Amino acid sequence: MLKKFFLAIVLVALLIGGIVYTKLGQFTAMGEAGANMMMPPETVTATAVSEGQWEQVVRATGSVLAVQGVTVSAEIGGRVTEIAFESGSEVEAGDVLLQMDTATEDAQLASAQAAAALAKTERARIRKLIKRNLTSADALDQAEAQVKETLAQVGVIRAAIAKKTVRAPFAGQLGLRQVNLGEILKEGTAIVSLQTLDPVYVDFSVPQRELARLKTGMLVRVASDVAPDEIFEGEIIAVNPEVDPVTRNVRVRALVSNPGGQLRTGMFASAEVVLPESRAVLAVPATSVLYAPFGDSVFVIDEQQDEASGEKSLVLRQQLVQLGQSRGDFIEIIKGLKPGETVVTSGVFKLRAGSKVVIDNSLAPKPSLDPRPDES
């Protein structure tokens, strides 16, 4: 019995030993295969670092103002008898916008004209009597004064009649009509808004440190979401001599061309003043930069030769860089790169130093200093 039990133990031990031996052989083979396996190179997009010239600009946000803008109002009261404009229409200077009832003034004018004619007749009669020494000089003076008084009264009534004809003070585009036919207007009642839309003013504020760099006549480019694919150009016409004591900003006014009247009064706009000097910069696409708490870096692609096989390959080197200004899709590299070096431009978050890569720029996006996406 003991002999059978011992034999069973030996058989179990041999079975377990065989399994362990087999698995150890498999693990050894897998380790050797892993050690000899070569990872395939990563496909990346890349670009050569080159030096370029960036124009210097001062950016700000501003508001659009009309060069001429006013709410046309009734100067005197009266009943509206005619409205000669449509909301949103274009008018020229002097065009009639509204006519009020002048029946009372017309009657007063006829009376005043008759009084003026009588005064002139009386003056002529007295002049004849003066020549014949039949009246005094005081009578002539009184006749002259009466003529002037009646003529002045005629002028006052004619001015009142003219004020009841409301005209456009300048050319521009009208807003929404705020009165109706037959309405009794009071003095100062708003009738319609009138704005000149081409050109327009764009007012914006810049920090006081930029004040010395700004001069009248400098080019100003204005962009607005109302026309995302269009840039409106103008020039600085005035710089406020006062600095806001609260914000320490100075207010600047630019006169900007606005063909088609797309920019409207009160609209928000982005403005940039183009300075006369440019600056040499070393820039890379912003997608090349790997941002990290310990420092920003880029992956530089170096060519290396295998000492054993003599084959050349592209290997990544992680390079810490100091960043400067960003513009569009690019960012300035102040320190860390040299012109002519090649950097990876996409997918840097999944790369590591020492990896082999191949470059394929067939699907690489084209970075721009002034990107304007179609669906922005």
Q: How many domains does the chain have?
A: 2
CA distance 322 to 174: 54
Instruction: Read off the tokens for 113.
Output: 């004209």
What is the residue range of 320's domain?
Answer: 42-54+280-359
Quick: pLDDT tens for 290-343. 998 888 998 998 888 776 666 788 888 888 999 988 888 888 888 888 888 888
The answer to whether residues 285 and 355 belong to one domain is yes
Mark which of 133, 163, 193 sits at the end of a domain. 163
Instruction: Give domain status of residue 298, yes or no.
Output: yes
* 3-state class (DSSP) for residue 8: helix
Instruction: Give domain status of residue 204, yes or no.
Output: no
- Written as one letter, the residue type at 61 is T
Quick: pLDDT tens for 7-62. 777 676 777 777 767 767 676 766 665 555 456 778 888 888 888 888 888 889 99
DSSP state of 196: -
Residues in the chain: 376
* 3-state class (DSSP) for residue 52: strand
Instruction: Give domain status of residue 185, yes or no.
Output: no
CATH of the domain at 125: 1.10.287
**Given the structure tokens 């009372």, which residue do they identify?**
104
CA distance 16 to 19: 5
Mean pLDDT, consecutive 10-residue stretches, the chain (376 aa), reads 68 72 69 57 84 84 90 89 89 90 85 84 80 73 82 87 88 90 89 90 91 89 87 92 90 91 88 86 88 89 76 85 86 88 86 84 77 58
Instruction: Give domain status of residue 322, yes or no.
Output: yes
Mark which of 142, 163, 184 sits at the end of a domain. 163
CATH of the domain at 342: 2.40.420.20
Instruction: Give domain status of residue 240, yes or no.
Output: no
Instruction: Give domain status of residue 323, yes or no.
Output: yes
CA distance 276 to 58: 11
pLDDT confidence of residue 204: 93
CA distance 198 to 295: 50
User: Dihedral of the CA atoms 172, 176, 177, 178 (nearest 10)?
Assistant: -120
The answer to whether residues 285 and 354 belong to one domain is yes
Instruction: Give domain status of residue 376, yes or no.
Output: no
Instruction: Give domain status of residue 15, yes or no.
Output: no
User: Dihedral of the CA atoms 213, 218, 223, 227 (nearest 10)?
Assistant: 180
DSSP characters over 92-116:
-TT-EEEEE--HHHHHHHHHHHHHH
